[in-house]
Structure formats: C-alpha cells, structure tokens
C-alpha cells in the first residue's frame, strides 16, 4: 500500500529534550516536506526537500532541523523543543516539486505537546 | 509575500445545496492548484487538482480556475453532512496552503 508514515503519532515531552519525528514514504517520491498546523493558521511549511541531500527552509524553520540521506526518509529534529512548538505536524511527499509538480500525499500526523 | 487566501468561514449550507469555496493567490507564476479536504484531527486528503483555466468536474465536485483573476474555487453540489470538513486550497509553486474554510452541511 502506497503511504506516508510518521512516528510517533503522539508525543508529550519537556522543554529542551531533543526529539526526532520520523517520516517515511514508499512511493519513490522525490519531494518531501514538513508542515505544522495550528488553529487559525492553517498548514505552514517548516522544511522541504527536493531530493536526497537537498533541503531548504520553508516559512517557519526556526527551532527545527531536517536531513534527507535516503530518498524514502525525511526526519524532523527538534534539538531543544519549546512550548511554542506544541502543534500538529504533518509530513508529506510528492512525485516532484517545483512549478510543474504534483499533489502531495500526507502522513497521519504527529501531535506534539511540549511542557 | 506570496499568499494564498481563503475565507475562514464557517460556511454553513443545508443538505442538498451547493457549497461554494473560494481561494485567491498572489503569485501569478503559479501553475498547479489543489483542493484538499481535512476532517478534524486527520490529515488532508486530495479532492481535486486543476492546472488550466476553466472548470474541472469530478462527481459532485467542480474546481474552477481563473489565472487572470488569480482565483480558484471549489463547488460541491448536492452537499451531504459527510462533506462537513475544512477545505484547504493549495498553490503548488511555493507549496503554500490557505488557512482553510470550515464547511458545515446541516441535515
């Protein structure tokens, strides 16, 4: 089954404790991205990757890191989480990025609470 | 600043009516446009994609694109209570989403 998976689905952590949210897709997609969703603000892009070893900042990259060492995986790293990073996070993938690109497929989401 | 704007709603329509959702965008270079549906607490799922000016129909859904006026709309005919969700407009060129319009279909 073609899908985007995220783990964990739910996470409660404390300020400053490093965490990683994993994202994996099995569709051989080149493009992957991370979004956070907060009430009233919609989906805001954190980071995206056009292909392996190619990543770039989205609209809200502060406090986050990513890496793309393999085509299928795109982990999101919070090295020192803060309460303002409490949010619902979505990973997404697409066949390709850029102007002539395709629809994105979303993972199930990770609800993160930082206390 | 490139932006995608939607009326946040909520939009309420009676069952069986036509729901009309609108989206405007600022980047004239945008070429790909998508409508996603998102149920509360769930991930967005694609409803329609549109790339050319005009209308595109898929079942009860019709997407309309007008690049000159920089707007894209989604019409839902014969609205059902199961259509109650937040609808997100996405403009692909720079991966931006609108904030979404919450639609409620009342039985």
pLDDT in tens, A14-55: 999 999 999 999 999 999 999 999 988 889 999 999 999 999
CA dihedral B57, B60, B66, B67 (to 10 degrees): -70
How many Å apart are CA A65 and CA B102, to the nearest integer?
32
* Closest B-chain CA to A37: B99
Query: Can you give the pLDDT of all 107 residues of chain B as single tens digits?
Result: 558 899 877 999 999 999 999 999 988 888 889 999 999 989 999 999 999 999 999 999 999 999 999 999 999 999 999 999 999 999 875 678 888 999 999 99
Residues in chain A: 115
Q: What are phi and psi of A9, to 5 degrees?
A: -80, -35
Q: Do the beta carbons of residue A85 and residue A112 sit within 8 Å?
A: yes
| Number of CB atoms found within 10 A of residue B101's CB | 22
Which of B92, B98, B101 should be substituted to probe chain A, the one whose Cβ sees the most A Cβ atoms within 10 Å?
Answer: B92
How many Å apart are CA B12 and CA B9, to the nearest integer?
8
Local confidence band at A86 (pLDDT 50, 70, 90 cut-offs): very high
Does the pLDDT value for residue A105 go beyond 60? yes
Mapping DSSP to helix (H, G, I), strand (E, B) and coil, where does residue B83 land? Answer: helix
Q: Do the beta carbons of residue A104 and residue A97 sit within 8 Å?
A: no
Residue B45: its chain A contacts at CB < 8 A? Answer: 106
- Contact state of B97 with A35 under an 8 Å Cβ cutoff: yes
Task: Please give the structure tokens belonging to residue B78.
Answer: 């014969």
The stretch A82-102 carries a mean pLDDT of 86
Name the nearest CA neighbour of B90 among B38, B32, B19.
B32
């Amino acid at each position: 089954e073609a899908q985007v998976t995220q783990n964990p689905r739910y996470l409660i952590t404390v300020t400053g404790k490093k965490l990683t949210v994993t994202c994996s897709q099995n569709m051989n997609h080149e493009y992957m991205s991370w979004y956070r969703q907060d009430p009233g603000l919609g989906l805001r892009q954190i980071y995206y990757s056009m292909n392996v070893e190619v990543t770039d900042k989205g609209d809200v990259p502060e406090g986050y890191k990513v890496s793309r060492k393999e085509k299928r995986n795109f982990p999101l790293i919070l090295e020192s989480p803060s309460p303002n990073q409490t949010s619902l996070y979505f990973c997404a993938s697409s066949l390709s990025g850029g102007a002539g690109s395709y629809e994105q497929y979303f993972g199930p989401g990770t609800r993160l609470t930082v206390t | 600043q490139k932006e995608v704007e939607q009326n946040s709603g909520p939009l309420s329509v009676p069952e069986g009516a036509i729901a009309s959702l609108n989206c405007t965008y600022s980047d004239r270079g945008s070429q790909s446009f998508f409508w996603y549906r998102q149920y509360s607490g769930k991930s967005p799922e694609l409803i329609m994609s549109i790339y050319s000016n005009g209308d595109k129909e898929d079942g009860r859904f019709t997407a309309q694109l007008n690049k000159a006026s920089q707007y894209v709309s989604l019409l839902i005919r014969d609205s059902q209570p199961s259509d109650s969700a937040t609808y997100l407009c996405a403009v692909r060129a720079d991966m931006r989403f609108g904030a979404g319009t919450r639609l409620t279909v009342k039985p």
